[in-house]
Chain A
Amino acid sequence: MSKILCYIINNEKLYLEQILAEYDYPILYTCIDKNRKRYLAMCVDPEEGRYIVAQTTCQILIKMMRDSIKMIDAFKTAHRIFSVISSSNDISQDIVKPIEFSKISKDDLPEENAYFELLDSEEAIREYIRVLEDEIKEDDIQHYPTFEMIGDFVFSAINQVRMSMNKAYKTYFRFQSYPIIEKTMQYELVDSKHFEEELVYESSFS
């Protein structure tokens, strides 16, 4: 993660990840927070310190850079969009406000029909696309169950069934064995009475 802190939005620090368009200053770039959420940031007016920051996804960024969607669509499809007015020398004092896409002035957005149009020579951005693609693959792998997870699930399911059957069997057995228990208790009482009588009888001879 880069050390260049760009924004603090909802207490999340957004760091510069990749510059996508730059002239004398970065105009379009991506940011990343500690939870690896991605943001597409755009300098609207450097003199006025106005920026638009859109929380987006790796998939949308790749689509934009690969020209599957227009640049403006990356903002249109964003989860959340923020308008930022820079405080010139203290990022924590920036004025950050959520804004709806429909409320953003047309002048503050990319041209309506403009695509990113990645050039063959932009190797750094091509490498960045590969990094994002790898991250998506890793996320997919993490979401697919592993053999270990399947094993755990099957073992847990079998265990649940076994415990349920055991409980049902015990309940059934207990219900069925009540008369036997009662009889056994009666025998035990009789036996103990008989045993006491025997003791009295034996003691009379001693």
Chain B
Amino acid sequence: MTEELLDRFADVLKAALQSQLVSFPEDNTIVSDFTPLEPVYRVVRREPNNRFPICIDDFLSHIERYKSGEIIKGVGSESERELQYYSCSFFDNVKSLKRIMNLPKKNKHIIIGSINPENGVIRVSQGSGHIDLWLFKNNMIFAQFSYDTGGDSL
């Protein structure tokens, strides 16, 4: 990985890469040069009757969202050593989100938009439609998303 690319990542990921807590695999599954993906879907949470604008906090990774040392069940205490928890999740189809929408916690909303190489590097999981995005810092990705008003699509 080039120094230039390393500098573009959010601080928490950059620090983890520099300290070799995590590393990008060398199997070319993570790509920086890709055709923009659209539409892509993500789930955000809003309290009832409080649908404030989509913001950068809606794109925090697991590591950024939860305090260090805090155990999220099923993740384990070694989450800081797993690259996937530094990414934020998207799906290329809305059906993959249906199960998540039917489970707690409530007050979930689907947002729809696009991602492109200016946002970060991605890994597309074959078959599942799941996309990991390792976001670059100071990114305006939230401007590319809006609430999915087509609730019937589920």
Contacts and interface: CB of A to CB of B under 8 A. Distances in A.
Contacts of B77: 89
A23 B128 contact: no
B1 interface: no
Contacts of B85: 24
Contacts, number: 95
B96 interface: yes
Contact of B103 (A7, A27, A84): A27
A43 B95 CA distance: 21
Interface stretch (B2-10, B19-27, B60-68, B136-144): B60-68
Contacts of A28: 99, 103
Interface string B78-108: 0000000100110000011011101111100
Interface residues of A, number: 42
A24 B61 contact: yes
Contact of A109 (B76, B99, B104): B104
A91 interface: yes
Contacts of B67: 88
B150 interface: no
Interface of A: 3-7, 16, 19-21, 23-29, 41-46, 51, 71, 84, 86, 88-89, 91, 107-111, 114, 116-117, 119-123
Given A6-B73, A122-B128, 19 more contacts: A3-B76, A5-B76, A7-B73, A21-B100, A23-B89, A26-B74, A26-B75, A27-B103, A46-B66, A46-B72, A51-B73, A71-B103, A89-B71, A91-B71, A107-B104, A111-B102, A116-B99, A117-B99, A119-B96
5 contacts: A23-B43, A24-B89, A26-B72, A45-B104, A45-B105
